[in-house]
Amino acid sequence: MSPVGNRKLVAAGAVAAALVAVVLTGRDGPDVKQSKSRPVPATIQATVPSTVTPTAPVAEVSPHNPDVQPVDCRSILTTEDVDLALDVWDREGGPVSTPGYTRGETCRNFVYGDERSFVQFEPGDPADFASAAVFFGGSGRPIDGVGDGAVWFAGIGDEAYAGLLAVRQDTPLGMLHFRLGLGRPELDDASRLAVAVDLARTMLPRFPGVDVEPELISFEDEPVDTATQSLDAALYAGVDSGTWSMGEGLKVLLSWMLDGGPGVVPDELTDPSSTGVIVAANAYLDDEPPDAPQVRALLERLTPGVKDLEAMTAPAEASAPLLVSLVYVTQDEAENPCDPWAVESPCLRRVALSDDLDPDTYSLYAALEGESAWSSGDVEAAKEALLDSASTYETLGSMPPTVLVLRPGGDTLYASYVPGEDCRVYVGEFLAGTPRNDLKQIFAREIAFCLIAHDFFLQFFANPNPTRWLAYGLANYLSGVVYPSNNLEHVTLPDTLASQELSTTVPDRSWTNWILFEHLHSFIGPTGVTDMIRGFPESGDLVAALAAAPGVPEMYHDLARALSDAEVVDVGSGTVPYAPEAWELNLSGPAEVPMAVTPFGVRRLHIQVPPGKFACVDSFTQGNLRMSWRSGAPGDSGSWSDQLPTSFQGESVLVLTSVEPGAHFTLDVTDISTNPDCEDDQPEDDPGACDLGVVCGPSRFYFQVVPLN
């Protein structure tokens, strides 16, 4: 709390004289009881120049509040506190530090055999904050974050092993002042100060009249640049930023897909597929915008049909359409001598497929050997991918006539579904020479779009609501079902999803959403996944549909926990590699941590409490959310509980999810205690006011404040 305005300290003249030499060991009182085998540490002295005088001396008037009874210093500074401060804490073995003495409102503890390792605590004085005040031979420097004000006196010379923290706090009972002396010979000054600050924060809430405002801790979602993920992400990022309209963006990107050229798309695409751009173009044309003719012309050049492909296949027809010819013109014909204008030099050949494939449903066209970078091994991989994909996808739904084209030239990869006709997958030769198993899974992923577009056309591609978050994740997942052991989908997940998970939601992401279906797979298998989507409303809100699907709220929360443990079960074998990120919550005192839990987002906290201490917690919830916690750090494994504990110790992970809007959670940290049950840390015996040695009057911790005249 901030100091009260228009008030001043009133102190007796006799007190001013006493401030010239203040000895924390109580040398102005009766003799200190000393153990013969345990020497009392060296005296801590403070000196204040004689020029420091009370602001308004009033004879025979105590500067302390007469209504505040003496404070038992053992209730403010426990043996456990001292053990932790001196790094000798041993809960199993009991107290380690030894009380040197407790006299009045002063307590001193030290480590047996090391008189320089000690903690001493006593009333302070306003004069401690004077610019020329000195303790341990050192001048003070202001310290933030403790009470309403604090000053640290670093020891120098022979007393460099110690330091003293003077703290003040305005309270309804008066201005509280106390001193905390700390001896830690093995630490440097910065480390010693950190220990003293932590100890002072622990002690402060235990004083009468002190109501420490909890620290308000908030976390902000860090924006994620998704434009570098794929070409369609660049399209939508440009629309969102105002770089271009949807029509302008489509014309730019479709032209780039035809002819290439620098400066149009991000330098590095983490996903080469541009299927999303084709889907966006088809959806854009549904409304017949003014620039529809230009967009349609570009789209037709990129997606020639089967008849046009046959015209380019040896032996070629003499009247190969100009439309088809433009598709495969490259920028540098020296690199690609294929000339679609010349009938005697056709660009493609139709490849014979396995007898297990229906020739009316599946076909493969490949650039002629020697005319492109495609090798016979690449073509064989394409044949195998068609067979493997058909074997899997036909058990999950209906496949439309599907054409796979290994085109000459080009550095794009996309699928195009024409309702009532066929689905065409075009692969540029930039993928030629890709390791065989990876190439097959890439083919399988693009072929998956044919199944998705055909079976879920009204849910996905004729839907006015954004659906790429679901379609792309599903295609990526299905490729892993076809090739469960190759795990190409794993490559970008640890970095890409980890960077997005805390700041985006499932509907904000696309390709990485395969992990959602991967986790669903463990419960309902691929048939259950496709059947669930088949039940979604046509042209409806798929986010709401997913949230309402049976078991999805529980499944999604379980996914967040599995990602926290890096233990999502893979479709093949083992687990999916992952490095979960979390908001770091370092607790050192009372705190309030509010947060909104967004639908299909995740709130993951890595809670850290100083060794030997316990963060006493409570919580407040609003809306329909799920909460779980476990001991350990993100990436560890452990046993999860859905019941918030009364206290956290060491490292813990807290996970919150919701699939509905309006969910909020507040973690209320009431105290940092040495007691795991978060009961008040009180000594076994609690003496009365007049049983505290030399003090049997008002507490010397609290100084009176009166209004200015």
| Residue 244 shares a structural domain with residue 187 | no
> Per residue in 461-517, pLDDT tens?
877 777 888 999 999 999 999 999 999 989 888 888 998 999 999 998 888 999 999
- Predicted local confidence at residue 174, as pLDDT: 92
Instruction: Select from 286, 302, 318 the last residue of a domain.
Output: 302
Q: Which of 263-272, 412-421, 563-572 has the highest mean pLDDT?
A: 563-572
DSSP 129: G
Q: Assess whether 197 and 258 both reside in one domain.
A: no
Identify the band that residue 314 occupies on the pLDDT scale cut at 50, 70 and 90. low
Order of strands, sheet of 647-649, starting from the edge strand that comes earlier in the sequence? 215-216, 591-597, 663-673, 614-622, 647-649
Local structure of residue 361 (DSSP, 8 states): T
- pLDDT tens per residue across span 357-366: 999 999 999 9
pLDDT of residue 23: 31
Q: Where are the alpha helices (DSSP H) in 313-467?
A: 322-327, 376-393, 436-455, 457-460
Cβ atoms < 10 Å from Cβ of 129: 18
Q: What is the Cα–Cα distance from 672 to 589, expressed in whole angstroms? A: 5
**Are 292 and 379 found together in one domain?**
no
Supply the pLDDT for residue 10.
29
In this prediction, residues 570-589 reach a mean pLDDT of 93
What per-residue confidence (pLDDT) applies to 26?
33
Burial 152-170 (b: 16+ CB within 10 A, else e): bbbbeeebbbbbbbbbbbb
Same domain, residue pair 314 and 427: yes
Residue 612 lies in a domain: yes
At 327, the pLDDT band (50, 70, 90 cuts) reads very low
pLDDT > 90 in the chain, percent: 50
- State the average pLDDT over residues 296-305: 87
Reduce the DSSP state of residue 180 to 3 states and report it.
strand
CB 175 within 8 A of CB 703: yes
Query: Do 159 and 29 lie in a common domain?
Result: yes
What does the angle CA 651 – CA 657 – CA 659 come to, to the nearest 5 degrees?
175
pLDDT for the residue numbered 601 = 96
Residue 370 domain flag: yes
Q: Do 274 and 205 fall within a single domain? A: no
Q: What CA–CA distance (Å, rounded) separates 341 from 446?
A: 29
CA-based end-to-end distance of the chain: 24
Residues 604-639: pLDDT tens digits? 999 999 888 899 999 999 999 999 999 999 999 999
Domain match, 114 and 193 both: yes
Quote the CA–CA distance of 99 and 688 in Å, as a whole number.
20
C-beta of residue 701 within 8 angstroms of C-beta of residue 207: yes
- Kind plus residue range of the DSSP H or E element containing 422: strand 422-427
Within a domain: 2 = no
Cβ–Cβ < 8 Å for 181, 164: yes
Give the pLDDT of residue 372.
82
pLDDT at position 8, please? Answer: 29
pLDDT in the model for residue 543: 93
Is 521 within a domain? no
Q: How far is CA 199 from CA 83, 117, 182, in A?
A: 11, 15, 10
In this predicted structure, what is the pLDDT of residue 233?
Answer: 80
Domain stops at, among 253, 276, 302:
302
> What's the whole-number mean pLDDT along residues 31-60?
39
- Is residue 589 predicted with pLDDT exceeding 60? yes
Give the pLDDT confidence score for residue 496 in this predicted structure.
86
Please check whether residue 525 lies inside any domain of the structure.
no
**CA dihedral (240, 246, 251, 254) positive or negative:** positive
| Mean pLDDT, residues 156-164 | 93
Q: What is the pLDDT of residue 40?
A: 34
Domain count, the chain: 4
Same domain? For 45 and 155 the reply is yes
Query: Which residue type is seen at 342?
Result: A
Q: Give residue 80's identity as a one-letter amino acid code.
A: E
Is the pLDDT score of 125 beyond 90? yes
* pLDDT at residue number 60: 53
- Specify the pTM: 0.74
The more confidently predicted of residues 335 and 551 is 551
Same domain as 207, residue 227: no
d(C-alpha 372, C-alpha 369), whole Å = 6
- CA separation (Å) from 73 to 123, 204, 246, 280? 10, 12, 71, 72
User: Are 291 and 331 in the same domain?
Assistant: no
702 near 37, Cβ under 8 Å?
A: no
How sure is the predictor about 171, in pLDDT bands with cuts at 50, 70 and 90? very high
- We report the CATH number of the domain holding residue 309 as 3.30.2010.30
> Rounded mean pLDDT of 107-127?
88
Confidence of residue 680 (pLDDT cuts 50, 70, 90): low
In a domain, residue 349? The reply is yes
- 338 versus 182: the higher-pLDDT residue is 182
Residue 112 sits in the same domain as residue 20: yes
Mean pLDDT for the chain overall? 81
Average pLDDT estimate for 580-597: 94
The least confident of 133-142, 224-233, 244-253 is 224-233
DSSP per position, 294-342 = HHHHHHHHHS--HHHHHHTBSSPPTT--HHHHHHT--S-TTT----TT-
Higher pLDDT, 439 or 510: 439
Helix, strand and coil in the chain, % to nearest 5:
30, 20, 45
Strand 402-406 to strand 362-367: parallel, antiparallel, or no bridges (unpaired)?
A: parallel
Q: Is the pLDDT of residue 27 over 50?
A: no
Confidence of residue 328 (pLDDT cuts 50, 70, 90): very low
| Whole-number pLDDT of residue 176 | 95
The β-bridge relationship of strands 647-649 and 614-622 is antiparallel
Same-domain status, 415 and 426: yes
Residue 632's domain is classified under what CATH number? 2.60.120
Tell me if 505 is assigned to some domain: no
Helix intervals (H) in 34-106:
73-76, 79-85
Residue 142 has pLDDT above 60, yes or no: yes
∠ CA(256), CA(298), CA(340), 5° rounding?
A: 85
Residue ending a domain, choose from 173, 195, 214:
214
Does position 43 have pLDDT exceeding 80, yes or no? no
Per-residue tokens: 388: 């493997």
Which amino acid belongs to residue 628? S
Cα(182)–Cα(120) distance, rounded to whole angstroms? 7
pLDDT recorded at residue 115: 78
Q: Classify residue 110: in a domain, yes or no.
A: yes
Torsion of CA 567, 568, 572, 573, to 10 degrees: 10
What is the span of the domain harbouring residue 449? Answer: 304-453
Most confident option among 199-203, 271-275, 650-654: 650-654
In this predicted structure, the answer to whether residue 682 has a pLDDT above a threshold of 50 is no
Q: What is the pLDDT of residue 91?
A: 52
